[in-house]
Amino acid sequence: MGAKGTRKRKLTVHILRDRLGLKPSKELIETLKKQNEIKNKIFKAIKDEAKTVPEIAKETGLDTTTVFWYLMTFYRHGLVEEVGKTDEGYFKYKLKR
């Protein structure tokens, strides 16, 4: 059923899903779980303080490539902003309010 029970109309996505018996694959669900974990870790790390990719990686235990890839995805979706740059050539990023 649709959002919060207030919506009477069944969403077209659910009609299609039921009609064709569609289910997201196990891999997709696993990937989504991992993505949510990564997102939460990164957001927590840069919520109050701007940090570089190596700093975020160290704090979250994720590798720098993963941190940077997600950070740039969030940056382009307008969730993260850059705040200055270090002498070593790393930008600092912070969660947008």
Residue 82, SS3 per DSSP: strand
Nearer to other proteins, 48 or 88 (CB): 88
Residue 83: partners with Cβ closer than 8 Å, 6 or more residues away:
50, 91, 92, 93, 94
Among 90, 94, 96, 97, binds other proteins (CB under 8 A): 90
**69: which 2 tokens?**
């890839």
Q: Are 94 and 83 in contact (CB under 8 A)?
A: yes
Site for other proteins in 44-73 (CB under 8 A): 52-54, 57, 64-65, 67-73
Min dist. Cβ of residue 76 to other proteins (A)? 6
Nearer to other proteins, 30 or 47 (CB): 30
* Rounded distance between C-alpha atoms, residue 28 and residue 25, angstroms: 5
Name the site residues for other proteins (rule: CB under 8 A). Answer: 2-3, 7, 11-17, 20, 22, 24, 28-29, 32, 35-36, 52-54, 57, 64-65, 67-73, 75-77, 82, 85, 88-91
